[in-house]
């Protein structure tokens, strides 16, 4: 697998890219498992609505634009974390409960982990998209993932409010998963924002230390 920061101009045909096929197989397995074993089908559908949109976007754009294997790996990890959260609802996630007991946390923080991962795992693919697909300057490609993460996180919280309070009130508590924290939305946005900053800082530091050139 090519884990270099440099963005290659040549891509393997889909059927020959073993790594990408492996990522797809892993995601399909996790997604199917979350669907079969879900404890709340209505919540599963709500949680996965944007996942469907994201996957369709990746499929439609693949023929013309492809990410590097590293970006597809990061995207796969994020999507797996998200759909696993939809299996039991974020607030009732078993891994979150295990972490809560292990670290003696006051609540199930699985939702916070996924929000942080949104910025941390997707900032690099966004950076690659701006550099490779849109040919933006490097400083713009560094800044935009952070700004977009902040914007999308805030917009997503608005969607959550609309879905839970206006359209599907019966699913409101399960969908929001605030667990009694009145500042839950603000903390989720902040964690995603921090994740994006950390990811872009790591990429920039690696580039500088190893003198890696981005095409």
Q: In this predicted model, what pLDDT tens digit does every residue of 69-109 receive, in sequence order? A: 999 999 999 999 999 988 888 888 899 999 999 999 888 88
Q: Which residues lie below 8 Å from residue 88, measured CB to CB, with a gap of 6+?
A: 38, 39, 40, 94
Q: What is the pLDDT of residue 179?
A: 63
Give 117's Cβ-side CA count (13 Å radius). Answer: 18
Total domains in the fold of the chain? 1
**Is 9 part of any domain?**
no
Tell me which residue of 78, 55, 71 sits closest to 1, measured CA to CA: 71
What CA–CA distance (Å, rounded) separates 44 from 61? 26
What is the per-residue pLDDT for 1? 53
Whether residue 2 lies inside any domain: the answer is no
Is 128 in contact with 142 (CB distance < 8 Å)? Answer: no
Whether the per-residue pLDDT at 151 is higher than 50: the answer is: yes
> Which pLDDT tens digit goes with each residue over 163-178?
766 655 655 555 555 5
User: How far are the Cα atoms of 17, 22, 93 from residue 89, in angstroms, in the given order?
Assistant: 33, 26, 6
Residue 194 covered by a domain: yes
Least confident residue range of 137-141, 179-183, 209-213: 179-183
- How sure is the predictor about 8, in pLDDT bands with cuts at 50, 70 and 90? very low
**Cα torsion 169, 98, 78, 48: sign:** negative
Q: What is the Cα–Cα distance from 184 to 174, expressed in whole angstroms? A: 14
The top-scoring range by mean pLDDT among 160-169, 180-189, 190-199 is 190-199
101, two tokens:
């007991």
Whether residue 23 is contained in a domain is answered as yes
Residue 161 gets which letter from DSSP?
Answer: H
Mean pLDDT rounded to a whole number for the chain: 84
Whole-number pLDDT of residue 12: 55
Q: 45 in a domain, yes or no?
A: yes
Q: Is residue 4 part of a domain?
A: no
Q: Two tokens at 2?
A: 């090519």
Distances in Å between the Cα of 129 and the Cα atoms of 75, 104, 122, 142 are 13, 39, 11, 11
Residue with tokens 């197989």: 25
Q: Which domain holds residue 154?
A: 14-210
Residue 215 domain-assigned (yes or no): no
Q: Which range among 13-22, 43-52, 90-99, 146-155 shows the weakest confidence by mean pLDDT?
A: 13-22
Indicate whether 121 pLDDT > 80: yes
Question: How far is Cα 113 from Cα 143, in angstroms, rounded to an integer?
Answer: 23
Write the CB contacts of 74 (distance below 8 Å, at least 6 apart in sequence). 121, 122, 124, 125
- Tell me whether residue 1 is in a domain: no
The percentage of the chain sitting over the pLDDT mark of 70, rounded to a whole number, equals 82
């Amino acid at each position: 697998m090519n884990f270099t920061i440099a963005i290659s101009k040549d891509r393997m045909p889909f059927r020959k890219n073993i790594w990408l096929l492996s990522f797809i197989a892993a995601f399909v397995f996790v997604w199917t498992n979350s669907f079969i074993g879900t404890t709340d089908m209505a919540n599963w559908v709500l949680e996965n609505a944007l996942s469907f949109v994201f996957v369709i976007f990746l499929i439609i754009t693949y023929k013309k634009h492809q990410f590097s294997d590293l970006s597809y790996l990061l995207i796969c990890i994020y999507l797996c974390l998200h759909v696993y959260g939809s299996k039991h609802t974020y607030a009732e996630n078993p891994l979150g409960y295990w972490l809560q007991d292990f670290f003696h946390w006051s609540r199930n923080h699985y939702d916070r982990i996924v929000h942080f991962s949104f910025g941390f795992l997707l900032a690099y693919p966004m950076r690659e998209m701006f550099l490779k697909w849109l040919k933006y300057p490097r400083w713009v490609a560094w800044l935009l993932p952070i700004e977009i993460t902040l914007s999308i996180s805030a917009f997503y919280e608005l969607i959550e409010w609309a879905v839970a309070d206006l359209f599907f009130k019966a699913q409101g508590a399960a969908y929001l998963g605030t667990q009694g924290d009145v500042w839950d939305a603000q903390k989720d946005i902040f964690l995603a924002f921090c994740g994006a900053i950390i990811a872009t800082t790591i990429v920039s530091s690696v580039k500088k230390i190893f003198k890696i050139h981005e095409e």
